[in-house]
Each structure stands twice: as structure tokens, then as C-alpha cells.
Amino acid sequence: MAPADADLRNTTLAVLAGGEGSRMGYPKAEVRLGGRPILDVLLERFAWPGPTLLVTAPGREHPTGWRGFTREVSDAEAGLGPLRGVLTALQHAPTPLVVVTGVDMPLIGRDQLAWLAGQLGDRADALGLMLRRGARVEPLPSAFRTGAAALVRRMLDTGRRSLHGLLADPAIRAMDAPDAWGERTWTNLNSPADLDGLT
């Protein structure tokens, strides 16, 4: 069962939006859906009652729609991928729980993110949760306690950049995603063809 709005006010929603979009041809945070900036579409879709954090990369700050977020923060270092974005989110979140999703996953909704927050909230001994689909673990969306920042920092300091690598620590768990979410929930926008597939 997903937590109520009152509980979600104590959970930060972080959207990773630092990708350069090399296959898309322009930064993913500047994608438009139905003529609207993707960040505007996501914020409307999520209607998140707690703090919202936009995580960008150096040189790609203030994408269209950034003002709709509670706060924008930029990675301290460029080119370290989504794991660096997760660290930035954990370092700047004003709440103990953080749900993380990507700007390029437009069909993830508030219900899924709230459910994920609730699952982590119910597991006091876990620092983070990722979701498994069959044999595949999806790195996003995921949920973390801010205490996971030290683990993420250690990984980056030793040159490891994979979000999946966090699962080597027993405090980061993988659990089965609900079948009811459906395949389209996991749509990822990597190229213009992916974008065309949404329309």
C-alpha cells in the first residue's frame, strides 16, 4: 500500500536530469512531450506533496521547467553518470527518504514512486531499494535513505560508477516490481525513435 500524502511530505522526489542525450541529439531535460517541456509534464504527473529536487550536471543547469521544483542542485563533478546524481540528491535532500527517477522515464507515475517510498519506509534496516523485473534489476526508479550517501561516495571514490554496483552492499536490496505496473511503465527515452513511440 502506498503511503498517504502526509507521509510523502517527508520524502524527497529527486529527478535526475543531467544526461547530455548524445543519442537524442540534445540534453534529455530539454525533451518536449506534446509540445510541452518534459519537466513540466513530469511535475504535473507526479503532483508530489513533498520536496522536489532537480539534479542537473555542470553546464546543463536551469533546463526549461526547472523553476517548478522546490530546488535545483548540480553535480559537483561532470561525467560520472547517474550514480553521481544519486549522491548529489542524497547530499541535498531535506528529508530522510529520497525517491529517485530519471527525466527520461516519462511513464513512471506518482503511484509507483509512492509505493516504492512506502516499501523502503517499511524496511528500517535497508539503506536503499531497487526493483527487479525477472532477472533484470532496474536502477531507476529507486529509493534511498540519505545515510546511503557514504556508500555511494565510497563507490565513486574507487572508480565504480554503476548504480547496480550498490547491490553488492547488503543494505541495498532488490525486490520484485509489481506485475501490475506493466511494460510501458519502464519506457526510457534514449533516442528520437523512443520519443516518437510515445505519440
Q: Does pLDDT of 1 surpass 60?
A: no
127 phi, psi to nearest 5 deg: -95, -20
Mean pLDDT score across all residues of the chain = 92
Domain boundaries, the chain: 5-196
* Strand 71-74 with 52-56, pairing: parallel
Average pLDDT of the segment spanning 53-57? 96
* Strand 36-37 with 32-33, pairing: antiparallel
Q: Does pLDDT of 4 surpass 60?
A: no
Q: What is the pLDDT of residues 69-85, one digit of tens each?
A: 999 999 988 888 899 99
The rounded radius of gyration (Å) of the Cα atoms in the chain is: 16
Pinpoint the alpha helices (H) of 47-170.
81-92, 110-121, 149-157
Q: What is the pLDDT of residues 147-199, one digit of tens each?
A: 999 999 999 999 998 999 999 999 999 999 999 999 889 998 888 888 887 76
Among 3.90.1150.10, 3.30.450.20, 3.90.550.10, 3.30.70.980, name the CATH number for the domain at 5-196: 3.90.550.10
DSSP annotation string for 56-89:
E-TT--S-TTGGGSSEEEE-SSSS-HHHHHHHHH
C-alpha distances in Å from residue 122, one per residue of 43, 63, 198: 26, 35, 34
